[in-house]
Amino acid sequence: MSRETATSGAKLWVVLARAYEAMARYVEQRVAAEGLCLSDFEVLEVLLHKGPMTISEIGEKVLLANASMTSVIDRLDGRGFVTRKSNDKDRRIRMVELTTRGHAFISDLYPRHAQDIESVMKVLDVGERNQLRASLKKLGFAAQEAAIQTETRTRPGS
């Protein structure tokens, strides 16, 4: 009878962090070959799939602060990939959208990006992929709840 030893949470965290770092490095290398940094690519991808958005909305999707987002949008605007437009209903709101050039660029690049990711993920069969996805979601929700609990306990007056 085989006895499986439990992997500690600390060891699992290290494996998860290293796997993420390796994947991120690979993706960064691939998009760098196209003259982009990862955050530039992520913004173009979000705009391709979600359409025009405010800088704040994009930042929430790609997990970047507004200050960083402004730099990304400035770079992409400088390359002619995005444009900022005023909102007809509220002129204080600036929408960011892909230009024709930007749409053509990311529409060509994204399928290659998806193929690059697939080339690495092919080491996992369908069942392993589904299990990993479910496990990571479960872990993410647990971490999110733990963070909320920590914030609640550390607030002044709590």
Is the four-CA dihedral 57, 62, 67, 73 of positive or negative sign? negative
- In order of their start, the domains of the chain are 18-124 (1.10.10.10)
Half-sphere exposure of 11 (CA within 13 A, CB side): 4
Contact between 54 and 96 (Cβ < 8 Å): yes
Task: Please state, in angstroms and rounded to a whole number, the distance separating the CA atoms of residues 142 and 138.
Answer: 6
pLDDT for 97-133, tens place per residue?
999 999 999 999 999 999 999 999 999 999 999 999 9
Find where tokens 């050039």 sit: 101
Question: Could you tell me how many residues make up the chain?
Answer: 158
> What DSSP state is assigned to residue 158?
-
pLDDT for 47-98, tens place per residue?
999 999 999 999 999 999 988 999 999 999 999 999 999 877 887 888 999 9
How far out from the chain centre does Cα 96 lie? 18
What's the pTM value of the predicted model, to 2 decimals?
Answer: 0.82
Contact between 40 and 76 (Cβ < 8 Å): yes
